[in-house]
Chains A and B, each alone.
Chain A
Amino acid sequence: MKYLALIYCDEAADAARPEAEIHAEYGAYFAFTEEAKQAGVNQSGEALHPSSTATVVRVRDGKVLTTDGPFAETKEQLAGYYLFDCKNLDEAIEWAAKIPHASITGIEVRPIMDFSQSATA
């Protein structure tokens, strides 16, 4: 079963953290990514550019409108994700807990809808 683990960070707080800490965090992420991949759980995962680089796309009356910045201004911002393929939610939670930001902010784990199942299954 597939789950999306959404990684949130506090960009304002991160700007104040010492460089060594940020580098160490990156190291922790590389290590986690590898561990989850070896276990066959990590399907994909990416880090996102900061929320200030976001572009929101809206179509109204056939016109495409773009605005700069995230969809909503929040205290914590979406920083990246992992796509897990594991047995159930318990396992997804186990892996999410190992993500570095679980210890700093928090990880949102959401089950992914599966449309491949036929009606008779």
Chain B
Amino acid sequence: MQEAFASALAHWREVGIPHNSAAWVTAAAHRKLIDAVRREQTRRKKAPDLAYESAGSALPIEIPLANEMSYPDDRLRLMFACCHPALSTEAQVALTLRMLGGLTTAEIARGSLLPEATLAQRLVRAKRKDWCARSTRFRMLESPTKCRLESESRSGSPVYARPSI
């Protein structure tokens, strides 16, 4: 994820800091994550007996996610968690950067130009709200929400396809 910030800095030096810098970094981090996942999946296909330890360390899943059957892929479940409609845009961005991007609170705070304490509080609130929402079983019957790339500049939410269950 340092790559995302590095490319952000390089880009911004040329064009100036974009209006929604956090969302830009999220989008960049997301693309790099997808690339990394693809590389990892290729690697796994070629060497299935190697222990798959890198994904576990790259994606700290602190929020327990309910109803494993609806979302077979851990990363997808995490994306849904970060995109919950109960969370404000700011909260979604912070949560996505933390949970999917693996950025530390300090890194996100720096990128968002916020004091670390403010960012930490935002994450705590977001996790609590999201966990409360996810702990109900009614969620399983809802169709997954699609977050569109065009609105990413506002929401900073990652794009994903409807999972085939």
Contacts and interface: CB of A to CB of B under 8 A. Distances in A.
B136 A50 contact: yes
Contact of A53 (B125, B129, B137, B141): B129
A1 to B, nearest CB: 32
Interface stretch (B42-50, B83-91, B105-113, B155-163): B83-91
A108 interface: no
Interface residues of B, number: 14
Contacts of A52: 86, 129, 132-133
A68 B125 contact: yes
B128 interface: yes
Contact of A49 (B86, B88, B125): B86
A55 B138 contact: no
A22 interface: yes
Contacts of B132: 50, 52-53
A26 B85 CA distance: 21
A15 B136 contact: yes
**Chain A at the B interface: SS class:** helix
A50 B138 contact: yes
Contact of B133 (A22, A53, A66): A53
A19 interface: yes
B138 A53 contact: no
A55 B128 CA distance: 13
Interface string A94-109: 0000000000000000
A39 to B, nearest CB: 25
A55 B133 contact: no
A39 B144 CA distance: 30
A54 B88 CA distance: 11
B85 A49 contact: yes
A26 B141 contact: yes
A9 to B, nearest CB: 10
B141 A19 contact: no
B137 A49 contact: no
A17 to B, nearest CB: 9
A54 B86 CA distance: 7
Contacts of A54: 86
Interface of A: 11, 14-15, 19, 22-23, 26, 47, 49-50, 52-55, 66, 68
Interface of B: 84-86, 88, 125, 128-129, 132-133, 135-138, 141
8 contacts: A11-B136, A15-B137, A22-B137, A49-B85, A53-B86, A53-B129, A66-B88, A68-B125
